[in-house]
Amino acid sequence: MPAAHDDDLAFAGVARLAQLVQQREVAPRELVTLYLDRIARLDPILNVFRTVMGDRAMADAAQVERRLAAGEQLPLAGVPIAVKDDTDVAGVSSMCGTGIDVGPASTDSAAVRRLRAAGAVIIGKTHLSEFGAYPVCESATWGVTRNPWDLYRTPGGSSGGSAAAVAAGMVPGATGSDSGGSVRIPAACCGIVGLKGQRGRISTKESPERAYRFHGLNHIGPLTRSVYDAALLHDMMTGPEPDDEIPSPPPAPPLMDALRAPTRPLRIAMSFKPVVPVNVSDEVRRPVLETAELLRSLGHEVVERDPVYPVIAIPAVLAMFMNGFAHEIARLPRTELLERRMQAEARTSRLVPDWVARRAVAAEPRITARSQRRIADFDILMTPVVAMPPVQVGYFEGYGPTRAMLRMLKFIPFTFPQCYSGQPAMSVPVGIDAAGIPEAVHLVSRANDEATLISLAAQIESVQPWIARRPPTELLLSQVG
């Protein structure tokens, strides 16, 4: 049984650990050892990591110690971070949830390189569904990743491995990618913070051999236990790269500045209207309604008001995703190793020509403006993250592409519009339901306004703090022997 001190350290969070390292109260190699031990103990049950970079992480931690001794100021000094396995880490394959190994990446992705520059130590790469196409974390090659709050439920997806790792205290922070909710959905399922900033704020540039990234639908974002940590990691990854697929948005102040500023009274539109007409369960409505009352008590105006999603929005997003998926598949050898459902989706995706995807991209400003007309005078849109609590493991088992898509929309009808519009959005934990499953709310800001988003999220966290809550990991481990 681990010492209570070790558990407290493991759940201390990104900023606190960096502070302890900077104050010489703990060394980077001690942190790596702590988390490697937790991974060795918990990963056989949760199945979070596709690969653990133990020796390299220890060497990188030693290098951080030398940088600190030389006087460098490192905001993430020695903090171990996990990276989703669709984001390149130099010298390691990006398997993207598949069984197809195209060889190690030649360089770090831009986001990973920036994390290293800030002093972070990359400790491993985490599981996802094949190409992140489904909001769970299961694949034929790598098996099932489990939710540390309930081993028989999904941790969400596609960044489910990263979310489960943070929730279980296997790392203090992780990266995810979000093309339709894949940071925010697992954050909600696992009771942590998931932030998707403005499109282009964090470069999605990968190694040269992986240049195609889904017409700008894809965003990279942090998964952490606190809003403060999410802001810190986001700031550390922010910045443009030469030849980025997506132009950078207008410069914005660091999110850490927004945390220090008082939250002004906001107008908040509360909506339970999904993009497609599906049932929204009482279990996910209740925390939104309760948060609305909390926000009113804090001086904000909360009004029920729905966006209007144009019918054309869904085919536009599908065209962009399918065309991007076809390009991703085209670079791979041995596509017969893909799951049968993904092989079928690849055949369908090849039917979407480039010009259709380009037209969908060009239509985005017009479609977004139409959808937001009724809520244009609000600062924030608040919705559920998902339409029902985390689904059982195997939710998509045995379903072909069409039936799986319909089943997926029943679960995640709130999060993909913001990947099309590029707006900042985040999932914020707000409680635990009667079944012991985390509850969350989804906050969306105006374009280029992460500052308001992060400020409001921090205010919610300050009055009902979440960071001390931990999943019953030891109990779950004892139940499975």
The catalytic residues are 84, 158, 182
Which residue's structure tokens are 């470069």? 203
Tell me the CA distances in angstroms from 122 to 43, 110, 111, 164, one per residue in order.
17, 14, 12, 17
Burial 273-296 (b: 16+ CB within 10 A, else e): ebbeeeebeebbeebbeebbebbe
CA–CA dist 298, 293 (Å, integer): 9
Tell me the CA distances in angstroms from 60 to 10, 67, 121, 178, one per residue in order.
19, 10, 6, 28
CA–CA dist 286, 289 (Å, integer): 5
Count of Cβ atoms closer than 10 Å to residue 73 Cβ: 10
Phi first, then psi: give them for residue 423, nearest 5 degrees: -70, 150
The tokens for 282 are: 């009482």
Residues 6+ apart with CB under 8 A from 182: 128, 132, 135, 157, 158, 159, 176
The C-alpha torsion from 284 through 287 and 289 to 293, rounded to 10°, is: -170
Q: In what order do the strands lie in the sheet with 380-383?
A: 49-52, 121-126, 80-84, 173-178, 219-224, 193-196, 425-432, 438-445, 380-383, 267-270, 301-304
Q: Is the preceding peptide bond at 158 cis, omega within 30 degrees of 0? A: yes
CA–CA dist 224, 221 (Å, integer): 10
CA–CA dist 21, 29 (Å, integer): 10
Contact 402, 167 (CB under 8 A): no
Contact 250, 448 (CB under 8 A): yes
Contact 411, 391 (CB under 8 A): yes
Best CA proximity match to 327, nearest among 131, 126, 179, 183:
131
